[in-house]
Every structure is written in C-alpha cells, then in structure tokens.
Amino acid sequence: MADPEEHPTDLPECPPAQGGGLLPGELRAWMVMLAAMGAVEQELRSVVKERLDVSHDEFLILCLLAESPREGLRMTRIAELLGRPKTRLTYQIACLQHAGLVTRKSVCGDKRGIEVALTDKASRLLEEASGTLATTVTRALTHVMGPKQHEAMCWLLPDLAEESGPSKAP
C-alpha cells in the first residue's frame, strides 16, 4: 500500500476522526466511512466493468455470494444486506444468471424462497480479478485518508495493516 504520508495534496482529506467541530465522534466517524466508501465505489466501477463485465450493484451481489460460495444466499437476505428492494434485486439476479455467473433454485419447503449461488465461472472470474480489485480498493482508500484515518482503518481491517507493513504504518 502507498505510504499514507504521501497523501495527495490536491484531494481533501476525510474529516478528522477527532476534531473541534460540531459533530459528535460517531457522526464524524460515519462521515469518514462515507467518504472512504464513496472513493472505493468510484474507483471500483470501471475496474469491475472492465474485469468482470458487470455493474457495480451486480458486483456487490457477487461479493456477498463469494462469502458463502457453497451454500448461497436467499434473495431476501441479499436484499437485506444490500438495503435494496427485492424487485430491483430480482432484475440484477436475472442479469447475473443470464451471464452464467449465478444459479437460482427454490428453497425446499418454502414455495416463495429462492436461493442464489455463484457458478464456477463466477468463482474463477472473482479469483482472477481479486488482486486487481484489492489493489483498487487500497489505492482509493489511500487517496482519501490521511495518516490518522489510515491507522483507524488498519485497526478495523487487520489485513490492511499487514499489507502496509510496520515501516509504513503512521
């Protein structure tokens, strides 16, 4: 990961986690997370389209399914986790199924329950693209976070701290 001290000067830093502003710490932390999420989403959109040929929202579905590759997830659970209406999710799942990236099946004993799982093709694509996608996330976070935010993020994401190494930690 890039050295947090090399924070680009042309980009505004996230709001400080501790500051003399009007907002309580919880809201300041939320603002830092929003800025980081926005930066990551912006960077990922083109990489996801180029590497996986799916939309950003479809990519989020694939990521959720990648955490449960054997079992899959019910559509209602995916909708809950993403905060999306089920009708919108149905369309996105249909697009992913048409691309050969997911399968849908009825849940035994539940007429309305639908379970979605990754296909082998999707697993391969995600595995092949994972290095590029991880680098993209790291780069996006580095561009919006100063040293203090980077330190806080490393506390939340231990793998990020390991990638940074002890010499690069703020």
pLDDT for 16-60, tens place per residue?
A: 545 567 778 778 778 878 888 888 899 899 999 999 999 999 999
Question: Quick check: pTM over 0.85?
Answer: no
- Rounded distance, CA 12 to CA 9, Å? 7
Please state, in angstroms and as integers, the Cα–Cα distance from residue 87 to each residue in 71, 78, 90, 91, 93, following that order: 22, 12, 5, 7, 10
Q: Which single residue is written with the structure tokens 């830093």?
A: 13
- Rounded distance, CA 120 to CA 69, Å? 9
Per-residue model confidence as pLDDT tens digits over 68-83: 877 889 999 999 999 9
For strands 73-74 and 110-118, give the pairing. Answer: antiparallel
